[in-house]
Amino acid sequence: MAVTKEVVEQALAKLRLPDGGDLVSRDMLRALSVDGGAVRFVIEAPSPDAARAMEPLRAAAEELVAGLPGVGSVSVALTAHGPAQQPQKPAPSLKLGGHPKPQAGPMKPAGVKHIVAVASGKGGVGKSTVSSNLAVALAKQGRRVGLLDADIYGPSQPRMMGVSKRPASPDGKTIIPLQAHGVTMMSIGLMLDPGKAVVWRGPMLMGALQQMLGQVEWGDLDILIVDLPPGTGDVQLTLCQRAALDGAIVVSTPQDVALLDARKAIDMFNTLKTPILGLIENMSVFVCPNCGHEAHIFGHGGVAAEAEKMGVPLLAQLPIDLETRLAGDGGTPVAAGGGDVADAYARLARGLIEGGIA
């Protein structure tokens, strides 16, 4: 008999928590997926301390699900929200989008070791998905990670990271970022009405980016990942000129039309003297979950050839799959769990760590 999500949830609902309730009633299950006999899910604790104490519960949940009829393998990951913040004043009215203030030189927030931009020449290639999953994968490997959603016209990280709370402020000036899946994150989407369009000119965009870099209490971070908007506009120019960037990662699909725009993004970073840390080929292959057939929907090898031509690393070739989309829409990036895609992001994260970037 084939196992289903409903059967798994019913089983986990019988596993009582020490302080009452269960994983289902307390809404602690994330990214539950059933692929044939392979079951994967994430248990999200309310805090890092609670997560450390819940390892026996994670093991018990894994054993319980493994005993269900039709289950061949189980992967259970633990993640956590950041520590609960003390009640604070509402986030200040920062007049986001004001003109930028003069700077003495490139800015790097205090306590942040590295700033890395994730960019693309065009939209729709999965840049934001790569950013959120890379951040979570790095956090799972013990890095202190920040994620700044600088895609001001189309901020998607709040949805992908599963946060919606408006950031708070202790003094009406600085902003306390949110925590999700072990990552410190900030997005203009948390400060504005999600149903309203951002209709700003260049100076307002530059001012908003400067504020999110300089007025957010990022704390001590090994790496701050900046999810840039697609293209080669004012936000990219501002970041490269006003922030102490360690480099940029360019994301593209293998198809020629995406590579045309990716080359423009690469040329922009070269013009602005920003190092290219490497390229990522996203949506590289689709593996049929039923028969295992591999289909190269967007072509194959185009980004690898471009990386070789430029003499920069090909950092990863990431597949396209349904679980990644469902996990992103559900607010728990696929890298927080287990499986082939999570493993691919883990390898990408290890490469950056070994290269001294994170």
Pairing of strands 247-252, 115-119: parallel
Whether 84 shows a pLDDT value over 50: the answer reads no
- What per-residue confidence (pLDDT) applies to 1? 66
| Helical segments of 112-247, H only | 127-140, 157-161, 202-214, 234-242
pLDDT tens track for 201-230: 767 777 778 888 888 999 999 999 999 988
pLDDT tens track for 269-323: 999 999 999 999 999 998 888 888 889 888 888 899 989 988 889 999 999 998 8
The one-letter amino acid code at 194 reads P
- What per-residue confidence (pLDDT) applies to 125? 93
Whether 85 shows a pLDDT value over 80: the answer reads no
**b/e code 61-79 from CB counts within 10 Å (16+ = b):** bbebbeebeebeebbbbbb
What does the angle CA 152 – CA 87 – CA 90 come to, to the nearest 5 degrees? Answer: 40
Mean pLDDT, residues 238-249 taken together? 89
Q: Using CB atoms within 10 A of its CB, is residue 299 exposed (0-12), middle (13-18) or buried (19+)?
A: middle
